[in-house]
């Protein structure tokens, strides 16, 4: 088990576009494993490689549903449907939450850790997690698109709005 340091805002790596992974090496596979360990240790639902300081298009997500842990290389959203609106937080922006509008259902395509095509259709929290993590790969944080940002520890959600 290898826990990596989670980069925090305003680190510039969080605002850069990650590079496509062109070759799946043992180092890429180890990074995916480390990212999963780091996500679970931090009690998160997802983690993108830029959040551990690496500008590669890699994500891990686990929304606690029947899909379990998903490790994906070069993920891209190929279909979106519907709308959901609700709170999000981020391991790279501790203490803040925001109300974010996302697609209710997404289909995401990428590669698994062995380089095989992986397609996942997700709804609810898993859909939100995929969109959030793929945004990270494009240098976009939830605070960039939230309709309202607030202190996650405040008694009243609207007390410290953006």
B/e letters for 60-69, b = 16+ CB within 10 Å, e = fewer, are bbbbeeeeee
Is 136 marked as a binding-site residue? yes
Is 67 labelled a binding residue? no
Q: Is 72 buried (19+), middle (13-18) or exposed (0-12) by CB count in 10 A?
A: buried
- Report the C-alpha gap between 94 and 77 in whole angstroms: 26
Q: Which of 83, 114, 133, 147 is catalytic?
A: 133
133 annotated active-site: yes
DSSP string, 90-141: -TTSTTEEEEEEE-SEEEEEEE-TTS-EEEEEEEHHHHHHHHHHHHHHTT--
**Those residues with Cβ within 8 angstroms of residue 18's Cβ, 6 or more apart along the chain or in another chain:** 48, 49, 50, 54, 55, 56, 57, 58, 136, 137, 138, 139
132 is in an annotated binding site: yes
Annotated binding site for Fe cation: 90, 132, 136
Residues tagged active-site: 133
């Amino acid at each position: 088990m290898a826990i990596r340091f989670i980069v925090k805002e305003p680190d510039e790596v969080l605002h850069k576009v990650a590079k496509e992974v062109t070759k799946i090496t043992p180092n890429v596979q180890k990074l995916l494993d480390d990212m999963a360990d780091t996500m679970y240790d931090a009690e998160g639902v997802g983690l993108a490689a830029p959040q551990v300081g690496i500008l590669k298009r890699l994500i891990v997500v686990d929304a606690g549903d029947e899909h379990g842990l998903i490790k994906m290389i070069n993920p891209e959203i190929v279909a979106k449907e519907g709308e959901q609106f609700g709170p999000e937080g981020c391991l790279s922006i501790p203490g803040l939450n925001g109300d974010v509008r996302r697609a209710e259902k997404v289909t995401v395509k990428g590669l698994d850790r062995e380089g095989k095509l992986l397609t996942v259709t997700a709804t609810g929290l898993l859909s939100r997690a995929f969109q959030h993590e793929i945004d990270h790969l494009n240098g976009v944080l939830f605070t960039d698109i939230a309709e309202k940002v607030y202190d996650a520890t405040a008694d009243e959600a609207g007390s410290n709005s953006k």
